[in-house]
Amino acid sequence: MLPYSLHGQASDAPVFVLLHYLGGSGHTWYPAISWLDEKHRCITLDTPGFGAAAGVSGYDVAAMVEQVDQSIRELKLDNCIVVGHSMTGKVALVLASRQPDYLRGLILVAPSPPGPQPMSDEDRRSQIDYSASREEAEQFVDTAASERLPDVVREVAIRDAQRANLDAWRAWPEKGSREDWSQRIGTVNCPALLIAGSADDQVPAPAEQQQLTLSHLPDSRLEVIEGAGHLMPMQTPQKLAELMTAFAADL
């Protein structure tokens, strides 16, 4: 069972299961939860090696999928919208391809694509060489955001990046981001929303996401938040939450 936190009141509305980016944790979603939990229950999960799951092993995509699935089932959740951000976008899509009975919809926020993630050798080496110093954590967070995050939110992101398990961190650029699930996923018949930031240079641009990711999701649409970088749950939480709740209302 992965570490989790619960927010909001039980209702008939879908439950958001919120997964975080490389170096993040459930804290990543706290700004956006302020705009989600009035009508929806929200569950954040810390994935293996990050946040309160720093001591949990299993860093490849298949292992993360298994642990997320097990956690949702142990929490006895149904009517779920699984939300993957960046690294866990690939995890969420693979999970959706298994068609679990609790899944109602899928939201991918600046997702890593199902195939190998395009990344320069310089960026890959920088992630592999990361040693969790304060300076490196600041640079990582500030580079991912298209503009400086509010100070309190930025400090939370930096703290998360510094307390990450470095084996888990390095496993992503070395292996996880290179995994090719595109043939195994095939077509996923699940209502889906992909949300991209117009200023995000960490993952494929919206046009590329249409080809690489949404080609697997025939019942999907793309939304772009203008001016947003990679860390939309912390940079543009209200706009992100509005798109998420509108998607849930349409289901």
> What does the pLDDT read at residue 88?
98
Exposed/middle/buried for residue 164 (C-beta within 10 Å: 0-12, 13-18, 19+): buried
For residue 10, pLDDT over 80 is answered with no
pLDDT in tens, 113-150: 999 999 888 989 999 999 999 999 999 999 999 899 99
d(CA 233, CA 97): 24
Three-state secondary-structure class, residue 245: helix
Q: Cβ(151)–Cβ(234) under 8 Å?
A: no
> What does the pLDDT read at residue 217?
98
Average confidence (pLDDT) over 63-89? 98
Cα dihedral: 3, 61, 243, 52 (round 10): 20
Who contacts 237 (Cβ-Cβ below 8 Å, separation ≥6)? 31, 32, 34, 35
Over pLDDT 90: what percentage of the chain?
A: 96
| Three-class DSSP labels, 31-56 | HHHHHHCCCCCEEEECCCCCHHHCCC
Who contacts 218 (Cβ-Cβ below 8 Å, separation ≥6)? 187, 189
Q: Which domains does the chain have, with CATH numbers?
A: 4-250 (3.40.50.1820)
pLDDT in tens, 190-240: 999 999 999 999 999 999 999 999 999 999 999 999 999 999 999 999 999
Q: Cβ(61)–Cβ(179) under 8 Å?
A: yes
Q: Where are the beta strands (DSSP E) in the chain?
A: 4-7, 15-18, 42-45, 80-85, 103-109, 192-197, 220-225
For residue 33, pLDDT over 90 is answered with yes
d(CA 29, CA 34): 9
Strand order in the sheet with 220-225: 4-7, 42-45, 15-18, 80-85, 103-109, 192-197, 220-225
For residue 108, pLDDT over 80 is answered with yes
* pTM score of the predicted model: 0.97
